[in-house]
Structure 1
Amino acid sequence: MYIQQIHHVAYRCKDAKETVEFYTSVLNMNFILAIAEDRVPSTKEPDPYMHIFLDAGMGNILAFFELPNSPDMDRDRNTPQWVQHIALQVKDTDALIQAKKELEEKGIEVIGPTNHEIIQSIYFFDPNGHRLELTTVTATAEMMNKLDAVKWDMLEEWSKTKRAPKQAAWLHSQEFTEQKDDRLEEEVST
């Protein structure tokens, strides 16, 4: 089996029209398709729905279902609000800062930018309560190679201890941050 790409990721929404308007006007996504039926094709259940699809760029599709006959939408209360989110990539740090400014001008509360060392991100919520992340990659090839080299060891240690492994703790160490700041200053001055 070989997966070519994610075709779409689907979430529930409170109101299909409001959701399309948010994603088209706030995030500039194109509304590409709507499907509505009275029965679920896979299960044959009688459950009317509106299924909307938005272009998230480069062949990525973000989809939503409005389900008027189901109980009101809620989230898994046993999962912290920050865990389940949709992360969308922007070109660079300048685009991230500009996006934050545009979101705030539209009255949307934004957290960040947050420096994750290999990415920079901002966070906010859509009208359905889904947490969204806009992010840009800031990692070097060297950083990603170091992380790649320890991923299996980290996973194995986590599975045994359920404690955060320290193989990648360098990402948030003061020494690493200072070295990164020094490299950035050198790049800016040259």
Structure 2
Amino acid sequence: MHFKQIHHVAIICSDYERSKHFYVELLGLTVIQETYRAERDSYKLDLRIGDTDQEIELFSFPNPPLRVNQPEARGLRHLAFVITNMDETVEALTHKGITVEPVRIDPITGNRYTFFADPDGLPLELVEVIEC
């Protein structure tokens, strides 16, 4: 058995149009397909991350329960995106009205990183990886 990469990450949002705007218009992810599932009163939006085959599946459901908002709670802790220029990315997000935490240095890898949140408070991380 050999796992090659993550295929997708699924996110359930509380306000579909607000989250769609955030991920598509503000973060610039590409829409692959949008599906309305009448039997579930639910949207499923497939989004491509950059020039990869990796995807985010954005779901809406009527009245989803709140996310446990403790950083060290069990389950998915955060979703991290690789970027190549931290300063430009932070500036672009800030210009779009997105609050970004101060940039830090990972003491183990030496990479610069920071966090911001989606409209439902899901922590999203930026990790600067300089290509050689």
Scaled to the shorter chain, the TM-score interval is: 0.7 to 0.9
Write the deviation string for residues 118-161 of structure 1: whole angstroms up to 9, x where unpaired.
221121111121111111136x9xxxxxxxxxxxxxxxxxxxxx
With normalisation by structure 2, the TM-score equals 0.82
Q: CA RMSD in A?
A: 2.3
1:128 aligns with 2:123: no
1:59 aligns with 2:59: no
Give the secondary-structure state (helix, strand or coil) at the position aligned to 1:102: helix
Alignment partner, residue 183 of structure 1: none
Provide the rounded CA distance (Å) in 2 between the counterparts of 1:131 and 1:89: 15
Give the secondary-structure state (helix, strand or coil) at the position aligned to 1:98: helix
Structure 1: gaps of 5 or more residues: 40-46, 141-190
Give the secondary-structure state (helix, strand or coil) at the position aligned to 2:71: coil
- CA drift of 1:16 comes to 2.1
With normalisation by structure 1, the TM-score equals 0.59
Report the structure, 1 or 2, having the larger strand content.
2
Asked if the contact 1:13–1:73 (Cα under 8 Å) also holds between the matched residues in 2, the reply is no
- 2:71 maps to a residue whose letter is P
Provide the rounded CA distance (Å) in 2 between the counterparts of 1:81 and 1:18: 27
Structure 2: gaps of 5 or more residues: none
Give the secondary-structure state (helix, strand or coil) at the position aligned to 2:67: coil
Provide the rounded CA distance (Å) in 1 between the counterparts of 2:72 and 2:94: 21
- CA drift of 1:81 comes to 6.8
Q: Size of the alignment, in residue pairs?
A: 126
**Larger RCO: Structure 1 or Structure 2 (Cα < 8 Å, ≥ 6 residues apart)?**
2
Alignment partner, residue 20 of structure 2: 20
Provide the rounded CA distance (Å) in 2 between the counterparts of 1:28 and 1:123: 17
- 2:27 maps to a residue whose letter is L
Provide the rounded CA distance (Å) in 2 between the counterparts of 1:4 and 1:38: 34
Provide the rounded CA distance (Å) in 2 between the counterparts of 1:73 and 1:102: 31
- 2:117 maps to a residue whose letter is F
